[in-house]
Amino acid sequence: MKRLDIYIGRQFLATFLFASLSFLVLFIVIDLIENVDRFIKNDIGPGVAAQYYLSWLPEVFLLTAPVAVLLASLYITGRLSSSNELPVIFSAGIGLKRLLLPFLTITLAISALNMVNAGWIVPHATIHKNWFGVHYLNKSYDSNFEKGNVHILESDNRILSLARVDQNSGIAENVRIETFEGSRMVERIDADSMRYSEHAGRWLLDNVRHRRFLPDTTLYTENPGTDTLELSITASSLKEYHLRPDEMNIVQHRRFIDEKQQAGFSNLQVAIIQFHSKLAQPVASLIMVLIGVPLSTRKKRSGLALEAGLSLLIGFVFLGFQKTILSVGEVEQLDPVLAAWLPNLLFLAVAILLYKTAKT
């Protein structure tokens, strides 16, 4: 059995890699045709263009991996069937469950790789991709600071509001810090800017206006110089608020959602969908192999063209359905967690049905 596993696994992996490489090349060619005039107009050299396409590769691999897995599983199982190897395997007492083992082993490794890819590599690459789009392709992307102040629940009873944060220096502008006792505001601090001092281990506030709200009066003081303040938020966490959710790694993304929810913000539909999509997308490859192998055992003979066409049809139906459901979720017509996982759940049901009705 070990030889059979190696034999099938090696062919499956080679076909998957070839399919993935083909999708990556196809994407580059199509995008290059679309943007070559912009590259020439903006005097973008081959080196800069290559960096741009390198920043796209992790996301393209993540999106096309389920289709490549499906194509590879259909093709390899179909070839085993057409060469009469599959009937011999089944007649030797090897069932579909055991046949799936090398396919699932390879696909599990692909899914694990894509989990890291979706959680850390793609967000990092997206930062460069978005920067390139803004500076060279005249694209615009919303940031957390473009629709007004960002509000952060800095502690259980304190809200920190900022107009913007410089991503390089970490300096925040137009700062407001409000402290509450229950529903009553007891203190408010306004400052023109705020920065973190590593030497002092505290935040430095410039041109501070301090109000303390007492039951019968308000105490007001000004300091045109610099005040220090201890906050629970770190300098690195503050810089993360400059990122869009799709530019955050999965840890930053989870923290971003938690802090927003704790601060009482409700418009988090898109951020929650994007977070769960980072988890759901890698799992799709495992579901596709559970569709591909049982489906291919139902056919006696088929050629490469049929296998490729069938896999592309199923794969792109999945991607199209996934895009549609995500769009429905983003306009709050569907629970965000369900929107991210529903395509996987429905295609998993199809996989279970094919497995139970497969002929071995």
Where does a domain end: 183, 217, 236?
236
Q: Which of 211, 236, 261 is the last residue of a domain?
A: 236
One domain for residues 9 and 116: yes
Residues 231 and 285 in one domain: no
Where does the pLDDT of residue 263 fall: very low under 50, low under 70, confident under 90, or very high at 90 and above?
A: low
- pLDDT above 90: percentage of residues in the chain: 66
Whether residues 124 and 36 fall in one domain: yes
Question: pLDDT class for 259, splitting at 50, 70, 90?
Answer: confident
pTM here? 0.87
Inside any domain, residue 212 = yes
Q: Is residue 78 part of a domain?
A: yes
The torsion of the CA quartet 310, 76, 116, 246, rounded to 10 degrees, works out to: -10
Bridge-based pairing state of the strands 202-213 and 218-229:
antiparallel
Lowest mean pLDDT among 169-183, 254-268, 275-289, 330-344: 254-268
Q: Which domain holds residue 81?
A: 2-139+270-357
Q: Is 344 exposed, middle or buried (0-12, 13-18, 19+ CB in 10 A)?
A: buried
**Residues 124 and 6 occupy one common structural domain:** yes
> Does any domain span residue 263?
no
Strand stretches in the chain, DSSP E: 150-155, 158-162, 164-165, 172-181, 184-197, 202-213, 218-229
Provide the domain count of the chain.
2
Residues 11, 100 within the same domain: yes
Q: What is the mean pLDDT of the chain?
A: 90
- For 14, 150, 158, the CA distances from 17, given in Å and listed in that order, are 5, 43, 52
